[in-house]
Structure 1
Amino acid sequence: MERKTASSGSPWENTVGYSRAVRKGPYIAVSGTTAVDQNTGRPEHAGDAYGQTKLIFQIIEQALSMLGASLNDVVRTRMFVVDIKRDQEAIGRAHQEAFYETLPAATMVEIKALIDPDLLVEIEVDAIVG
């Protein structure tokens, strides 16, 4: 099976050595994605979990599109949240808006921290095309 990769252009991809998304056959894995400006690497929507989640799903949607998929192909989401008690509703609302038709399997867990203190949530997804 052919392996294809997608890049968002984030400076972290080259620095750390990863792809935004990888497709092998019908399976696509999208790396953990945060609300970071893809040109500057700076966090966006500081303090706004809903705004960060909406931007994250836009970035994920672009990566899926590069590999011939869409949010409708997502079968699993994993959400890593710095303050789950405070932000679960806002993140959940943005998730519901992105997946109201397909309802993927989903996990939301609280973590200690992300790479930048302005980041509140990181999301990864798995998709299957076809």
Structure 2
Amino acid sequence: MKYILILSCFLLFSCSNKIPFDKAKWNVKEDVFYDYREFMIDDLLSKKIIIGKNIQELEDLFGKLEVLEEENNKIIVQNIVTDFGFDIDPIKTVNLVIYLNENDVAIKTELVKWEK
């Protein structure tokens, strides 16, 4: 019985939803939801894969991107999570924002969370 309890605790605490970044899985989308991004974001940010890459290198990493201009900054926004709850309008979003310098090179990343 003691060994079953120890094994159960080990399995419970060793299981994690975090997975390594994978370009193919990053873009897997079902309806309006990305299936894997939420589980890859920690790996992506902890390895600092994004900083220092130009737009072409970022597109090689993520696929086709749209560069936006916001308050004199060039940014790229990648949706990580959108939670609709039981409504048609989102109640929570998490987006990865990539800031670019004047040479279109990534200089900063930020996870922006919004809740209704």
TM-score normalised by the chain length of structure 1: 0.25
Give 1 or 2: higher strand fraction.
Answer: 2
TM-score normalised by the chain length of structure 2: 0.27
